[in-house]
A and B are shown apart, each in its own frame.
Chain A
């Protein structure tokens, strides 16, 4: 028996705002708490905080991917290259020119915007699976390009400032400024959280603007959109450009956490995994980027940790899963991929519309919203 709420009533607003309040509270609580109980003992607080910063970075990258894949309807496998471009731009400015990461963000975004628009324009006439392969080619070419321009990028040695330098230092007014080893990661996390919240709010507004509606129209019916004066090719190019900015921003955020970039980090594997994260979270749902990034960062990490140490695992799960992990122990590290892949398949079958899509479907069964008038 579903509960009926009137749209715009206080109860309805509470129900809509609830999940995001909880999410934001968790984002503010989990990194700052000494022990949360979910993580294995081998993941200490400092490592956990920096992983959560990475989750925020990848959430921004996946959100950018969603602009192209979810809202404009074009499979995009090359987001890894834009993250790499943003990361390298940042790390080069930090290492060779003594900038801070925050100052490098606008430059990284601008470089990626230009590159994204170029890819979008080059692909203006290409559609569907053909364009997907072009984006894959783009992802594939990025690491060799990094190696080719070794004088700038450091080649196979990677690029980064000397150990201990190029880190962001929290200002003295920050409440965690005297936490020692934790202060740095917590400050980076706070900055990443601020950036991510800003990006999500801006994206929400973007999707309600003419540009966002043009993207959705291009996805649903390109010919119909063209009849209404929307240029599908140009809309697609704009989507690629915008999504590249998100990628560049994500790259800069990754370099805030650990200012070191190497060619192997940003290969085709990353590009494919981000699409997986997007689909797991929910395609065409803005908020899907968050669970998508959580799965992308933590699922392989936890599976790998649990193979060696199941100390921090929830007790029920520990009892249920010990035969599986005993099997994994004998198979060694390679088994992580099997578990990760199988978990993806399982998710795809249980919630084909992603975590957020599936949650919305189930909530809609419980709560019916009535619109007066």
Chain B
């Protein structure tokens, strides 16, 4: 990190521009290391786009781009939550999807049972799920040595089972409709030949703002500094007096809040059921892995990439069709990982021999 910018601007605009600058800076410093790979990827994308436009026309291509981006932002938000927990514990949290599902049901309770406005319901549900995740970390995760990865993984698997079944017991398996928190529901506007829903654009903006806020939180606050220290070197931060447990708890809470947000943004486009995050989770895993499990910005870019690959492969390649669109996205990940074992933007582990 070489961002020693002295920013004197104050107020809200200053904070936002600083945040954007920071996010852009982190992306730029990442891409500097990966310029060649980005170049290859860009070339593939450009060639594919030319071929796609030539075969089926511009409008369909743009529509598929918009659909892909639409999926991609939701993957990105979930991947962000996964990366937060991976950075904190170097464990993949299998319960992330079910935690987000549960949080979305809490949003549902606030908005439909209590009659609160949607945006307030989401914020309150984020708070509730953050507190719940902090509790889970304290009671179930902290009992195990942080280096005992398998035990913690199994705890997250048990949580996956318990939360999924518990939601079924409490809210039953019939689909619930969750309203969109954004105005102009179901209205579209034309954009370069594609129909874009207003609520989609609001969703994209919300995800981007969330990423910026999380980046700010990690880079500008004391707890964020502690979090980064712990995720870089657990032993050294313990020696430096960082409270490991509380810092990891912060990571879980943050991840749960982000997950609830992602679920609440995704639910209005489908129906809320205890299993509605199932498919999403595999793609968020894929996005998080493709981006590099410890890179926040990388997971967002990878989320978009996977959303695009999925719609493009399913839409343009007849042999692949709907069923294998998902498989193609996952195959791409395996190929990328075979070339770059720690993802596109992940920090490669140097081992001394």
Q: Which A residues are within 8 Å of any B CB, using their own CB?
A: 69, 75, 122-130, 132-134, 136-137, 140-141, 144-145, 147-148, 223, 226-227, 268, 272, 275-276, 279, 283, 331-332, 334-338, 340-342, 344-345, 348-349, 352
Contact A344:B351 (CB < 8 A) given known A129-B91, A352-B151: no
For B321, the closest partner residue in chain A by CB is: A148
Q: How far is the CA of A148 from the CA of B331 in the complex (A)?
A: 15
Contact A134:B334 (CB < 8 A) given known A341-B158, A349-B143, A352-B144: yes
When the two chains form their complex, are residues A132 and B282 in contact, meaning their CB atoms are under 8 A apart? no
CB distance from B176 to the nearest CB of A (A): 15
Assess whether B263 is interfacial by the CB under 8 Å rule.
no
Residues of A near B159 (CB, < 8 A) are 341
Interface bits B308-335 vs A (CB < 8 Å: 1, else 0): 0000000000000101101100110110
When the two chains form their complex, are residues B154 and A126 in contact, meaning their CB atoms are under 8 A apart? no
When the two chains form their complex, are residues A133 and B289 in contact, meaning their CB atoms are under 8 A apart? yes
For A267, the closest partner residue in chain B by CB is: B278
Assess whether B165 is interfacial by the CB under 8 Å rule.
yes
When the two chains form their complex, are residues B338 and A140 in contact, meaning their CB atoms are under 8 A apart? no
When the two chains form their complex, are residues B330 and A140 in contact, meaning their CB atoms are under 8 A apart? yes
The 23 listed contacts between A and B (C-beta, < 8 Å) are A128-B90, A129-B92, A129-B293, A130-B293, A130-B337, A130-B341, A133-B286, A134-B337, A136-B285, A141-B330, A144-B324, A144-B327, A148-B323, A272-B157, A275-B153, A279-B151, A283-B150, A334-B169, A337-B161, A337-B165, A341-B161, A348-B151, A348-B154
Assess whether B206 is interfacial by the CB under 8 Å rule.
no
Partner of B165, one of A226, A279, A336: A336
Known contacts A129-B293, A130-B293; 12 additional CB pairs below 8 A are A123-B338, A125-B341, A130-B289, A130-B341, A133-B285, A133-B289, A140-B326, A145-B324, A148-B324, A223-B351, A348-B158, A352-B144
When the two chains form their complex, are residues A223 and B160 in contact, meaning their CB atoms are under 8 A apart? no
Q: How far is the CA of A129 from the CA of B288 in the complex (A)?
A: 11
Q: Which B residues are within 8 Å of any A CB, using their own CB?
A: 86, 90-92, 94, 140, 143-144, 148-151, 153-155, 157-162, 164-166, 168-169, 173, 282, 285-286, 288-289, 293, 321, 323-324, 326-327, 330-331, 333-334, 337-338, 341-343, 349, 351, 353
When the two chains form their complex, are residues B341 and A341 in contact, meaning their CB atoms are under 8 A apart? no
Residues of B near A341 (CB, < 8 A) are 158-162, 165
Q: How far is the CA of A332 from the CA of B168 in the complex (A)?
A: 9
Residues of B near A134 (CB, < 8 A) are 289, 333-334, 337
When the two chains form their complex, are residues A348 and B155 in contact, meaning their CB atoms are under 8 A apart? yes
Q: How far is the CA of A247 from the CA of B332 in the complex (A)?
A: 25
Partner of B168, one of A127, A337, A344: A337
CB distance from A142 to the nearest CB of B (A): 9
Q: How far is the CA of A348 from the CA of B148 in the complex (A)?
A: 12
When the two chains form their complex, are residues B160 and A272 in contact, meaning their CB atoms are under 8 A apart? yes
Q: How far is the CA of A334 from the CA of B94 in the complex (A)?
A: 20
CB distance from B210 to the nearest CB of A (A): 23
Contact A122:B334 (CB < 8 A) given known A75-B150, A75-B153: yes
A contact face: mostly helix, strand, loop, or mixed:
helix
Q: How far is the CA of A283 from the CA of B149 in the complex (A)?
A: 12
CB distance from B137 to the nearest CB of A (A): 14
When the two chains form their complex, are residues B326 and A331 in contact, meaning their CB atoms are under 8 A apart? no
What are the 6 A-B residue pairs with the smallest beta carbon separation, nearest first?
Answer: A337-B165, A341-B161, A341-B162, A334-B168, A137-B330, A133-B289
Residues of B near A349 (CB, < 8 A) are 143
When the two chains form their complex, are residues B282 and A126 in contact, meaning their CB atoms are under 8 A apart? no
Residues of B near A227 (CB, < 8 A) are 353
When the two chains form their complex, are residues B150 and A141 in contact, meaning their CB atoms are under 8 A apart? no
Q: How far is the CA of A340 from the CA of B248 in the complex (A)?
A: 27
Partner of B162, one of A136, A140, A342: A342
When the two chains form their complex, are residues B162 and A129 in contact, meaning their CB atoms are under 8 A apart? no
Residues of A near B158 (CB, < 8 A) are 276, 341-342, 344-345, 348
CB distance from A29 to the nearest CB of B (A): 32
Q: How far is the CA of A134 from the CA of B321 in the complex (A)?
A: 22
User: Which among A147, A148, A283, A341 has the greatest number of chain B C-beta atoms within 10 A?
Assistant: A341
Residues of A near B342 (CB, < 8 A) are 130
When the two chains form their complex, are residues B293 and A344 in contact, meaning their CB atoms are under 8 A apart? no
Contact A335:B169 (CB < 8 A) given known A129-B92, A279-B154: yes
CB distance from B348 to the nearest CB of A (A): 11
Q: How far is the CA of A133 from the CA of B329 in the complex (A)?
A: 13
CB distance from B116 to the nearest CB of A (A): 27
CB distance from A314 to the nearest CB of B (A): 25
When the two chains form their complex, are residues B337 and A126 in contact, meaning their CB atoms are under 8 A apart? yes
Residues of B near A128 (CB, < 8 A) are 90
Q: How far is the CA of A349 from the CA of B140 in the complex (A)?
A: 9
When the two chains form their complex, are residues B154 and A275 in contact, meaning their CB atoms are under 8 A apart? yes
Q: How far is the CA of A352 from the CA of B152 in the complex (A)?
A: 10
CB distance from A213 to the nearest CB of B (A): 21
Q: How far is the CA of A338 from the CA of B169 in the complex (A)?
A: 9
CB distance from B329 to the nearest CB of A (A): 9
Q: How far is the CA of A268 from the CA of B155 in the complex (A)?
A: 17
Q: How far is the CA of A75 from the CA of B285 in the complex (A)?
A: 15
User: Which among B149, B165, B282, B331 has the greatest number of chain A C-beta atoms within 10 A?
Assistant: B165
Residues of A near B333 (CB, < 8 A) are 133-134, 137
